[in-house]
Amino acid sequence: QVQLVESGGGTVNPGGSLKLSCAASGFTFNYHDMSWVRQAPGKGPEWVAIINSDGSSTWYADSVKGRFTISRDNAKNTLTLQMNSLKPADTALYYCARAPLDKPLAVVQAHNEWDYWGLGTQVTVSA
């Protein structure tokens, strides 16, 4: 079965860095676009970064552009999010999510219609 397991969350001071990882299994990883989606308390899910299936294209939410970097290793079935210059507004539960093959990525992105999600890893940015 499809499994997405996130790790690397924690508590960090403003301006600090964290690196999140997602281990994928149970499907052909290099077929799917992948994303990191976050959800802060009392708010809806917000995609923050997307990478296409071969890693040649990436997209970022304006709120994280220039600070976060998404990458993937298709040989190791791993997705990564490097987060720098963290702000308190980045505090959220971060999910690794898979894009389905049967919908345009623009639709998936606009409606957060990812077909599988991990359980999430908590990131807290606080002094």
pLDDT per residue as tens digits for the range 56-66: 999 999 999 99
What local confidence, expressed as pLDDT, does residue 54 receive? 96
Q: Assign 111 to helix, strand or coil.
A: helix
pLDDT per residue as tens digits for the range 26-43: 999 999 999 999 999 999
* Alpha-carbon span 82 to 68, nearest angstrom: 6
What local confidence, expressed as pLDDT, does residue 32 receive? 97
Residue 97 CB neighbours (<10 A): 25
What local confidence, expressed as pLDDT, does residue 14 receive? 98
Per-chain mean pLDDT for the chain: 97
pLDDT per residue as tens digits for the range 70-92: 999 999 999 999 999 999 999 99
Indicate if the alpha-carbon torsion angle 40, 46, 122, 11 is positive or negative: negative
Provide the pLDDT confidence category of residue 6 given band limits of 50, 70 and 90.
Answer: very high
Does the pLDDT value for residue 127 go beyond 90? no
Average pLDDT over residues 2-12: 98
